[in-house]
């Protein structure tokens, strides 16, 4: 992830113009609907993680926090007296979050090398990021860094390819290659996504589909605990369909 600007569409994310247009896109009716759906899923994922921890997290890292898209969610759902940190690699995104009135501390930093000590936060929440990262190695590097800074757990947003939309992308990629072109990017399958989280140093607690049934929506939230945590389930229970997460 050291070369994060070259991974997937991260160069677009880090473009200052993207920060100016980002909120406009999500303010449209379709964007608002998708935002609410993601927040409902995040609420279910947070409930699952809190049940495993036996308490509400007192220090949450929202990374990348972007323009503060989840700010209102944290105002409603963060425990009283808890600290929510926003971290992002885009200074333009952070400035936009301040303009919008994000009241929590904001930190600028590379997500591959977070400017935080080991075990600084109870929970790290990563929404709408890994689908921008093309290589498996870069995704695992981010997750490994996430495991370093968190002492409690992880909620990470993954986009998987085992949906009608994903199959369509595969078909378009085959046709594009026959024409000598690259074609659309193929997202990892569910099993690969879970394996990447484990490689990053976590044990999967459950999977929360953003949209139900799972085969309609291609987005899921993986809830995980640090590797070796006795509260994590053992065996293959969490490796099934996203709809089988204990949300």
CATH code (residue 17)? 3.40.50.150
Residue 240 within a domain: no
| Three-state secondary structure readout of 111-146 | CCCCCCCCCCEEEEEECCCHHHCCCHHHHHHHHHHH
What pLDDT score was predicted for residue 215? 62
Tell whether 54 is covered by a domain: yes
Higher pLDDT, 179 or 33: 33
Q: Model confidence over 38-78: pLDDT tens digits?
A: 999 999 999 999 999 999 999 999 999 999 989 989 999 99
Tell me which residue of 101, 143, 149, 145 sits closest to 122, measured CA to CA.
149
Q: Taking residues 82-86, what's their average pLDDT?
A: 96
More confident residue, 110 or 19: 110
In a domain, 35, yes or no: yes
Q: Give the domain range for residue 220.
A: 4-160+189-227
**What 3-state class would DSSP assign to 27?**
helix
Between 90 and 144, the more confident residue is: 144
pLDDT exceeds cutoff 60 at 239? no
* Least-confidence region, from 20-24, 116-120, 221-225: 20-24
More reliable by pLDDT, 17 or 152: 152
In this prediction, residue 27 carries a pLDDT of 78
* Pairwise pLDDT comparison (194 vs 218), residue with the higher score: 194
Per-residue model confidence (pLDDT) at position 2:
37
Residue 243 lies in a domain: no
Runs of H (alpha helix) within the chain: 10-13, 16-27, 29-53, 71-77, 91-99, 136-149, 164-178, 190-199
Q: Where is average pLDDT lowest: 26-40, 78-92, 142-156?
A: 26-40
Q: Answer yes or no: is 103 within a domain.
A: yes
**Domain count along the chain:** 1
Of 15-19, 217-221, 227-231, least confident by mean pLDDT is: 15-19
Residue 127 domain flag: yes
The pLDDT score that the predictor gives to residue 74 is 94
Work out the angle at residue 213's Cα, subtended by the Cα atoms of residues 124 and 42, and round it to the nearest 5 degrees.
20
Residue 235 lies in a domain: no
- Is residue 233 in a domain? no
In this predicted model, what pLDDT tens digit does every residue of 154-213 receive, in sequence order? 999 998 765 666 566 656 666 777 778 776 666 677 889 999 999 999 999 999 999 876
Instruction: Name the region of 14 (left: φ>0; alpha: ψ -120 to 50; beta: rest).
Output: alpha
Give the pLDDT score at 9: 62
Q: What pLDDT band is residue 12 in, cutting at 50, 70 and 90?
A: low
Give residue 171's pLDDT. Answer: 67
pLDDT value of residue 38: 93
Task: Please state, in angstroms and rounded to a whole number, the distance separating the CA atoms of residues 224 and 79.
Answer: 20
Whether 238 has a pLDDT exceeding 80, the answer reads no
Asked whether the predicted pLDDT for residue 23 surpasses 60, the reply is: yes
């Amino acid at each position: 992830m050291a070369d994060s600007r070259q991974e997937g569409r991260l160069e677009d994310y880090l473009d200052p113009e993207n920060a100016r247009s980002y909120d406009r896109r999500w303010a449209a009716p379709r964007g608002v609907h998708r935002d609410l759906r993601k927040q409902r899923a995040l609420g279910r994922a947070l409930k699952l993680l809190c049940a495993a921890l036996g308490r509400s997290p007192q220090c949450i890292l929202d990374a990348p926090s972007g323009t503060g898209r989840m700010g209102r969610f944290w105002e409603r759902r963060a425990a009283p007296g808890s600290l929510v940190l926003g971290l992002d690699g885009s200074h333009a995104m952070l400035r936009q979050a301040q303009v919008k009135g994000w009241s929590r501390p904001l930190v600028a930093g590379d997500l591959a090398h977070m400017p935080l000590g080991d075990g600084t936060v109870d929970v790290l929440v990563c929404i709408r990021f890994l689908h921008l990262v093309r290589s498996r190695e870069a995704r695992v590097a981010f997750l490994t860094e996430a495991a370093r800074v968190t002492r409690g757990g992880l909620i990470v947003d993954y986009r998987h390819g085992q949906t009608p939309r994903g199959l369509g992308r595969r078909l378009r990629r085959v046709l594009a290659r026959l024409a000598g072109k690259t074609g659309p990017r193929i997202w990892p399958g569910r099993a690969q996504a879970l394996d990447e989280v484990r490689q990053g140093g976590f044990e999967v607690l459950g999977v929360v589909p953003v949209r139900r049934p799972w085969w309609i929506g291609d987005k899921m939230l993986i809830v995980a605990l640090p590797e070796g945590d006795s509260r994590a389930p053992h065996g293959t229970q969490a490796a099934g369909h996203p709809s089988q997460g204990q949300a």
